[in-house]
Structure 1
Amino acid sequence: MSSKPLSTMDHKSKAEDMQYLIQPRGSGKSFVFRMVTPTELIGTPNPWTGKPFGKEIRRGLGTRRLSEARHLRDIYLGEVRKLALGDAGKETFELKDAQEWRDMLANDDGSREMVLNDKVHAAAERGVPETKLRSFMRVALGKGYPISKAVDQYIDERSPGNRRGFKPISKPTQNDLRSSIKHLRVFLNDNGDIACLEDVTPTRAKRFRDEFLPNQTSPRSPHGLSHKTINKNVTLLKGMWDWAVERGITNGKYRSPWVFANSVPRAARSDAPSREDFKPDEVSRLFAATTSGTREGDLLRIALVTGCRVDEIASMRKAQVEADGSGFIIMEGKTANARRYMPVPEGARALLKARLDQHPADERVFPEWPLRASTGKVYAASQWFTRFRREVLGEETDGRLALHSFRHTWRTVARQARIPESDVDEIGGWSKPKNSSSVYDHGLQRGQLQESQELVWEQMQSLGYLSEY
């Protein structure tokens, strides 16, 4: 382990030389040793008195000479520290332990910090990793709080029904936050899981926003993250940092670094391709390269003619689907408006009903697509489609077409079919929640939506989208 001290504890200056010593008033009285009892010793046997330790240790030194009192003080301090270190091997140096130490050290006279420093050095000699000990000490001394621990606590405290009354955040938002944290830890070179909230200064936050994020590329963002995505990342991080400051998790003098001065408005990248709808011939080529009755072919076909999000379809359970395949209920999704009834065009019902019969023992309509329980998403579908699209339509469609483009294609065709905007929003889940769901009970609204969906199907046929359906 490095010889660099793990705490800020220095040797006592001459001005502090009388610490732990009391010289009672009056002549002929001896010095007294006094200190706050380390928490782990309270209630344990005191070897000098035979009684349990209380909140304070007091012991007469039997001398009026300061030099001799200092010597005895150091001896007694060493004995107390050895007693406190008696079970040092049981220390785990986990975050919860560091938080307890931070509370104890808040009003410490220095004795507890000395004990803690001894424990840490003893642990280093036993082979406890230095990175773990340094992270532990940063928290215990109130100098830092690990980002990896903070994000878990933040998400937990913003879960549904949390006792603090914080507004819950959805699963997709949690995933987006973790993605933002992942970017930030790469920026901080945090390979040992020890970066703390306090490591992010205003200067670093600005560099992260203006220099690091714009250069992060991926198959979905080959030209780097857009300004809209960057702002989303910063907003999510700011929310977590504001929470940490409010909860007192960060150092008392620390303030959120995610507050920037007003700047010049940013324009979209001129070289970044914009997302487009599928053209009829592109859909025909994709359908021709897949087979109806397979997980891939059925997923694409249902996505096109219903306008549903892919995760809404792939995660759907059979209990949500009408027995004749005429429609299904979407229970939840990306937004609060996602819960809705989805009418299925008559020409697509046979495909959906065949799905219900294809896997009788499974609860899901698409059991072949693995579902990540923690998020309710089917990541494999998007990954497959990227490879499939490139093979069929070419890599030049990167950035222009995606699996989600089927949803936007449906909306465009619906408008071309002169479908009322209210019906388009209702079917696609873009509208606000209704004040009452009684219209569904009467069956009238479902019938109207079914008529609109049939008109979209007819428009798709006339435009050539369904030639290979």
Structure 2
Amino acid sequence: MSVSAIEPRQQTPSTGLAVTQSVRELFLGDLRELPPTQRADALARRFLLSYTGHTRAAYGRDLADWFGWCAALEIDPLAANRAMVDGYARHLEARRSPATIARRLSALAGFYRYAIAEEVLTSSPAAHIKRPKTANDSQTLGMDRGEARAFLAAAKEHSTRAGALVTLLLHDGLRISEALGADVGDLSHARGHRILTITRKGGARRDVVLNPATSQALDAYLDARVEGPVFITSSGNRWHRSEAFRLVRRLGTAAGIEHADKLSPHSLRHTFVTLAREAGVPLEDVQDAAGHADPRTTRRYDRGRHNLDRHPAYALGAFLAD
């Protein structure tokens, strides 16, 4: 189950929206008039339109798994009760991590809230489901200061493209989708700063500052290129995240990072948060730079927050002594 691709047949003059009969039915049709066997899938398609990017894709997979569970029990998802959702959660416990289970149950809760709002249901079977507690510290592997330096050196030795990407990810804490989605035209200057305008999770456009090292690495890689994606393949296409993922692990091995086989581009984002906090950057500034809506997310990324060297007792002792 997923939101199907809709092929354009006709353009409305006022909006430019591609309109087909299936589009009209998706947006305007009364779900209660559909055959019962089609109603849940149609509702799910509408629900997923509320999201974009990776969140939409993840929720689509989550609902597909839930719909598969319901199909195996020969029960319409819109006829499910709380016991079914509880049974599904127990089924997941032996197969998925607590974080994945929590996200899947969150997707179900959102789907059924949407069903109530659309007047398809009057109550939600997932309204009071207990979600598993997730770890206070993120399980994504990060790097310490020495490892980050070695990783940067390995990237620069590998290629100017690798050097530019790794420098950008480590110094600005971008998500890999934000870095690879940027175009050369998104580079500019503002109030004396070199900036890159990126598309954040959820579609918001934000400016990130490029420090001299990042600016130099990008300029060396772009070599005066003025258009197209910032990061491209040898054929000029936009670099794909799966290729960047493999590169990160190769660089980790070259840099001698322990457990390099567990590194991912997201590891560099975690490293950014941890090292920025170790460098004394206030939590709220790191939160803003990372684009986190909740400071608790930033704290989960900060692998050094339990470092005793950072305990406020030392700073307070020095302050009182003065």
TM-score bracket for this pair, using the shorter chain length:
0.5 to 0.7
Cα separation, 1, equivalents of 2:183 and 2:169: 16
The 1:388–1:179 alpha-carbon spacing in structure 2 relative to 1, beyond 3 Å, is farther
Q: Who is 2:188 aligned against?
A: 322
The 1:149–1:215 alpha-carbon spacing in structure 2 relative to 1, beyond 3 Å, is farther
Counterpart pick for 1:278 among 109, 127, 143: 143
Aligned amino acid, residue 272 of structure 2: W
TM-score under structure 2 normalisation?
Answer: 0.63
Cα separation, 2, equivalents of 1:195 and 1:371: 43
Instruction: Report if aligned partners of 1:326, 1:349 keep a CA contact under 8 Å in 2.
Output: no
The 1:387–1:208 alpha-carbon spacing in structure 2 relative to 1, beyond 3 Å, is farther
Q: Does residue 1:215 correspond to 2:215, yes or no?
A: no
The 1:211–1:422 alpha-carbon spacing in structure 2 relative to 1, beyond 3 Å, is closer
Q: Does residue 1:259 correspond to 2:146, yes or no?
A: no
Q: Does residue 1:296 correspond to 2:162, yes or no?
A: yes
Alpha-carbon distance, 1:278 to partner: 0.6
Instruction: Report if aligned partners of 1:314, 1:366 keep a CA contact under 8 Å in 2.
Output: yes
Aligned amino acid, residue 384 of structure 1: R
The gaps in structure 1 that reach 5 residues or longer are: 1-95, 104-138, 159-168, 217-223, 373-377, 433-469
Instruction: Report if aligned partners of 1:185, 1:195 keep a CA contact under 8 Å in 2.
Output: no
Q: Does residue 1:180 correspond to 2:62, yes or no?
A: yes
Counterpart pick for 1:201 among 73, 81, 99: 81
TM-score under structure 1 normalisation?
Answer: 0.46
Q: Who is 1:233 aligned against?
A: 104
Q: Who is 2:286 aligned against?
A: 424
Instruction: Report if aligned partners of 1:145, 1:196 keep a CA contact under 8 Å in 2.
Output: no
Q: For residue 169 of structure 2, give the secondary structure of its aligned residue in structure 1.
A: helix
Aligned amino acid, residue 239 of structure 1: G
Q: Who is 2:298 aligned against?
A: none
Larger Rg: 1
Cα separation, 1, equivalents of 2:44 and 2:132: 29
Instruction: Report if aligned partners of 1:326, 1:346 keep a CA contact under 8 Å in 2.
Output: no
The 1:385–1:260 alpha-carbon spacing in structure 2 relative to 1, beyond 3 Å, is farther
Cα separation, 2, equivalents of 1:245 and 1:144: 18
The 1:267–1:249 alpha-carbon spacing in structure 2 relative to 1, beyond 3 Å, is closer
Q: For residue 48 of structure 2, give the secondary structure of its aligned residue in structure 1.
A: helix
RMSD of aligned Cα (Å):
4.1
Aligned amino acid, residue 332 of structure 1: T
1:232-257 CA-to-partner distances (Å, cap 9, x unmatched) read: 3212222222322442446xxx7432
Q: Does residue 1:309 correspond to 2:175, yes or no?
A: yes
Superposed counterparts of 1:326-341, under 5 Å: 327-334=194-201, 339-341=205-207
The 1:420–1:100 alpha-carbon spacing in structure 2 relative to 1, beyond 3 Å, is closer
The 1:396–1:367 alpha-carbon spacing in structure 2 relative to 1, beyond 3 Å, is closer
Cα separation, 2, equivalents of 1:241 and 1:425: 31
Q: For residue 415 of structure 1, give the secondary structure of its aligned residue in structure 2.
A: helix
1:181-237 CA-to-partner distances (Å, cap 9, x unmatched) read: 1322343456xxx9742353322211212222x333xxxxxxx322x4322321222
Cα separation, 1, equivalents of 2:214 and 2:252: 26
Instruction: Report if aligned partners of 2:248, 2:264 keep a CA contact under 8 Å in 1.
Output: yes
Count matched residues.
261
Cα separation, 2, equivalents of 1:351 and 1:383: 20
Q: Which protein, 1 or 2, shows the higher relative CO under an 8 Å CA cutoff with sep ≥ 6?
A: 2
Cα separation, 1, equivalents of 2:200 and 2:107: 20
Instruction: Report if aligned partners of 2:179, 2:198 keep a CA contact under 8 Å in 1.
Output: no
Cα separation, 1, equivalents of 2:86 and 2:293: 37
The 1:204–1:410 alpha-carbon spacing in structure 2 relative to 1, beyond 3 Å, is same
Aligned amino acid, residue 181 of structure 2: S
Aligned amino acid, residue 196 of structure 2: I
Cα separation, 2, equivalents of 1:283 and 1:416: 13
The 1:185–1:382 alpha-carbon spacing in structure 2 relative to 1, beyond 3 Å, is farther
Q: For residue 322 of structure 1, give the secondary structure of its aligned residue in structure 2.
A: strand
Cα separation, 1, equivalents of 2:32 and 2:205: 46
The 1:353–1:177 alpha-carbon spacing in structure 2 relative to 1, beyond 3 Å, is same
Structure 1 or 2: larger helix share? 2
Superposed counterparts of 1:2-13, under 5 Å: none
Cα separation, 2, equivalents of 1:389 and 1:146: 48
Alpha-carbon distance, 1:413 to partner: 2.4
1:68-87 CA-to-partner distances (Å, cap 9, x unmatched) read: xxxxxxxxxxxxxxxxxxxx
The 1:273–1:315 alpha-carbon spacing in structure 2 relative to 1, beyond 3 Å, is closer
Q: Does residue 1:404 correspond to 2:266, yes or no?
A: yes
Instruction: Report if aligned partners of 1:304, 1:410 keep a CA contact under 8 Å in 2.
Output: yes
Cα separation, 2, equivalents of 1:328 and 1:357: 17
Q: For residue 424 of structure 1, give the secondary structure of its aligned residue in structure 2.
A: helix
Cα separation, 2, equivalents of 1:383 and 1:350: 23
Aligned amino acid, residue 233 of structure 1: R
Aligned amino acid, residue 82 of structure 2: P
Cα separation, 2, equivalents of 1:274 and 1:426: 22
